[in-house]
Structure 1
Amino acid sequence: MDAAAPAQTVDGNAIAGMLWDLFGADVTALVGTCGGCGALAPLAETVVELDRHAAIVRCRTCTRTLFTVLQSSDGTSMRVGLLHAVHSSG
């Protein structure tokens, strides 16, 4: 996170563009499973700590880090934390 630009806390919809850069599609409707507590929720409903360089995506139920999206001059990348599984909601 960037100390010069404090993070804001938002929901998962706020990182739709960052995830589009990675996957080429809107993946916020996909359902993630937290490896910490087992909660299931659409990525749009996660809690995100967001600044201009990174998004830390947390489980809304237990607050553990599911994954982190990083933006740099090399592009956008994702580091997986406790995101156990992702599946379609249908």
Structure 2
Amino acid sequence: MELDGNALGGDLSSVFAADVTGAVFVCAGCQHSGVVASLRVWVPAPGLVGRCPNCTDVVLRLVRTPTRAFLTLTGASRLELPLD
């Protein structure tokens, strides 16, 4: 089942103080840019995997355990967070 990047919002809010779904990513694979909410998130998986909507490369991975959150952004060449 495929969801959009808004599915990442709740879990990412435990890692970041800001709402990251509105942050802009740049895909390291195809250089496509868009907001995190536009990522394609496939479930079920061990954690959440956000894929580029243009080329389907993995942009980010987020795995939560009871005591830690593991976030990798190796598929993003940049993540732009708006400052208030």
Structure 2-normalised TM-score? 0.87
1:52 Cα offset (Å): 7.1
Does residue 78 of structure 2 align to residue 85 of structure 1? Answer: yes
The structure where strand makes up a greater share of residues is: 1
Deviates more, 1:63-72 or 1:45-54: 45-54
Does residue 65 of structure 2 align to residue 56 of structure 1? Answer: no
1:50 Cα offset (Å): 2.9
Query: How many residues end up aligned between the 2 structures?
Result: 83
Does residue 17 of structure 2 align to residue 24 of structure 1? Answer: yes
User: Which segments of 5 or more consecutive residues in structure 2 lack a partner in the other structure?
Assistant: none
Match of 2:40 among 47, 65, 80: 47
CA RMSD of aligned residues (A): 1.9
Residue identity (%): 25
Q: 1:12 to 1:59 in 2, by over 3 A?
A: same
Distance 1:23 1:63 in 2: 24
Q: Which runs of 4+ in 1 moved over 2 A?
A: 50-53
Q: Secondary structure of 2:37's partner?
A: helix
Q: Kindly indicate whether the alpha-carbon contact (under 8 Å) linking 1:53 and 1:72 is maintained by their aligned counterparts in 2.
A: no
Higher alpha-carbon Rg: 1
